[in-house]
């Protein structure tokens, strides 16, 4: 399960189904609800002074932006099984690294699309500098990636395990 394109997002079937359900809700019941809110606010009169109308239109804009984002994400999704527990870093893995080989200075994160960021673990996308630096590496391998200031950081992959949702 290697990254073949920057536009491909690797998803488990469960993750794909969750995003599809969100999209179906936003393009169905949520659209009807926001249209009703806009219509009710419109009936209140002068639209220039109507805070309810402007709030509903703003909410509609945010919702439609999310619909576009979900459509693009699902169009470019590759649904696959969770990665094998083989010690190779790839999307869907929880990775522990040591900075500059210092086994006491470590960080653990999920290598996945930002869509799957959870509150229980930090998430880095495979396209991020750190993500692309460790993607494809094996436990014990050293990796390098470029920092925003242009310098290079070195890390060692200590562990790579498939992510298990809590």
Let me know if residue 1 belongs to a domain. Answer: no
**133 in helix, strand or coil?**
helix
61 and 106 part of one domain = no
Q: What is the CATH number of the domain that holds 143?
A: 3.10.50.30
18 or 136, which is more confident? 136
Mean pLDDT, range 111-118, rounded to an integer? 71
In whole angstroms, give the CA distance from residue 3 to residue 1.
Answer: 7
Q: In this structure, are 101 and 43 located in the same domain?
A: no
Domain that holds residue 70: 9-79
Longest Cα pair distance anywhere in the chain, in angstroms?
A: 67
How far is 155 from 18, CA to CA, in rounded Å?
Answer: 34
- pLDDT value for 89: 93
Q: Which pLDDT value is given to residue 151?
A: 92
Q: In what order do the strands lie in the sheet with 93-99?
A: 123-124, 106-111, 93-99, 152-162, 142-146
- pTM higher than 0.75: no
Does 70 have pLDDT greater than 60? yes
Report the number of distinct structural domains present in the chain.
2
E strands, the chain, where? 9-11, 77-79, 93-99, 106-111, 123-124, 142-146, 152-162
The mean per-residue pLDDT over the stretch 17-44 comes to: 92
User: What CATH number did the domain enclosing 35 receive?
Assistant: 1.10.287.180
Share of the chain above pLDDT 90, in %: 48
């Amino acid at each position: 399960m290697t990254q073949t394109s920057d536009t491909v997002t690797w998803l488990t079937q469960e993750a794909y189904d969750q995003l599809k359900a969100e999209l179906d809700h936003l393009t169905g019941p949520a659209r009807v609800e926001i249209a009703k809110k806009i219509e009710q606010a419109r009936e209140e009169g002068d639209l220039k002074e109507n805070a309810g109308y402007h709030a509903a239109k703003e909410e509609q804009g945010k919702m439609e932006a999310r619909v576009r984002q979900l459509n693009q994400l699902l169009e470019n999704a590759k649904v696959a099984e969770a990665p094998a527990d083989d010690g190779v870093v790839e999307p869907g893995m929880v990775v522990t690294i040591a900075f500059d080989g210092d086994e006491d200075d470590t960080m653990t994160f999920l290598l996945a699309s930002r869509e799957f960021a959870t509150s229980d673990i930090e998430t880095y996308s495979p396209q991020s500098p750190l993500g692309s630096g460790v993607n494809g590496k094996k436990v014990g391998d050293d990796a390098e990636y470029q920092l925003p200031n242009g310098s290079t950081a070195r890390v060692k992959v200590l562990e790579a395990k498939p992510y298990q949702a809590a």
